[in-house]
Amino acid sequence: MARLVAAFVAAVPRLRFDFHLASLKGLFPQLRRASILAAWSGAEPRLAHASDLSTNPAPNLLTQLVTFFDDFAPHYDEWAHGFHRKAAERLVALAHPTPGEHALDVGCGTGLVTRALAHNVGRRGSVVGVDVTPGMLEVARQKTPANVQYLYMPGERLIFRDAAFDLVTMGLALAYFVDARAALAEAHRVLRSGGRLAVSCQRRALATDAQEEFFEILDRMRVDHPFMRLPRHDDERGSLGEPEVLTRQLYEVGFDEVKIATMVTGGRPKNAHEWVELMKGAGPLPYSLLSTMGPASRRRLEGELDEVMGRLDEDAFRFHIAVTFALGYRD
């Protein structure tokens, strides 16, 4: 631990933020796992050991993703007044699984969609849930219905045969994939003729002014971070949940007759503290920044937020979470 602290101090002469080293320490076992995961994605494996930190402190996007979902898994189902539950229910209603069908749930997470599918397809049907975050799969496996199998597998490289499934679902996972297009193409390949894909994706363009302001502050923190170079996804990925973009993506990999639905939910935390706690669950980047922040940095951030939100009057601390749902058929 002393060597680690010395490495930080040597690499960063002027720390502008204080961070909990204890929370950083918690990242390391997952960084090793993420470097293994990176092998399949073609991404450069980084930070296999804590001792790498002084020379190469930048975790890649996959590292951030797995760390976030691993840590967040126990809170996932209840986050933001059960937003994930509501989105899962809507996706399954749109997919309309029927008794006896065989379904695949890609990026199954804690199994919210998987379990609802399992209920609908019944004992004659089956559901396979795949995901790359061990912590999410662990939560999912705590309640595994008899007709469900959970497997550790990337959506971009499915091991299933062509035309193996009647239905594929991807609940709120598309924007996190290393290669979203490859995952959609794989879904198309494993569906039988006449089968369908149901996808949901957050629609970022409907964010409120309060969210816009907050994410601008976060991005400044990311860029100015004293000892971590935190990567972020490109803007194109942020537009995947726009109805016309999602529709085009489905058509481009061969789906037909794409139907679109939307859902908007939201809320209004009481103050800056509650807002920051909520936003830790908003994704891998906010989580990396907010969960490693020490008390002084946190006070500064909350102070800045109070000031910014004060200018938004009744829109202060208001947030929206909008979701686009798409259902596409395979020829």
Binding footprint of ligand SAM on the chain (CB under 6 A): 65, 69, 84, 88, 106-109, 112-113, 130-133, 136, 154-156, 171-173, 176-178
Contacts of 314 (CB under 8 A, 6+ apart): none
Q: Which is nearer to ligand SAM, 132 or 285 (CB)?
A: 132
Cα-flanking dihedrals φ and ψ of residue 198, to 5°?
A: -115, 120
Q: Shortest Cβ distance from residue 140 to ligand SAM (Å)?
A: 9
Looking at the chain, which runs of residues are DSSP E strands? 102-106, 126-131, 148-152, 165-171, 191-202, 255-267, 319-330
Q: Which is nearer to ligand SAM, 112 or 191 (CB)?
A: 112
What are the distances in angstroms from CA 175 to CA 55, 235, 239, 326?
30, 11, 9, 14
Distance CA 78, CA 59 (A): 28
Q: Which is nearer to ligand SAM, 57 or 109 (CB)?
A: 109
Q: Which is nearer to ligand SAM, 102 or 225 (CB)?
A: 102
Q: Shortest Cβ distance from residue 299 to ligand SAM (Å)?
A: 30
Q: Shortest Cβ distance from residue 226 to ligand SAM (Å)?
A: 29
Supply 18's token pair. Answer: 């204080």
Q: Shortest Cβ distance from residue 81 to ligand SAM (Å)?
A: 15
CB 164 within 8 A of CB 186: no
Contacts of 50 (CB under 8 A, 6+ apart): 4, 25, 28
Q: Shortest Cβ distance from residue 173 to ligand SAM (Å)?
A: 4
Q: Which is nearer to ligand SAM, 87 or 272 (CB)?
A: 87
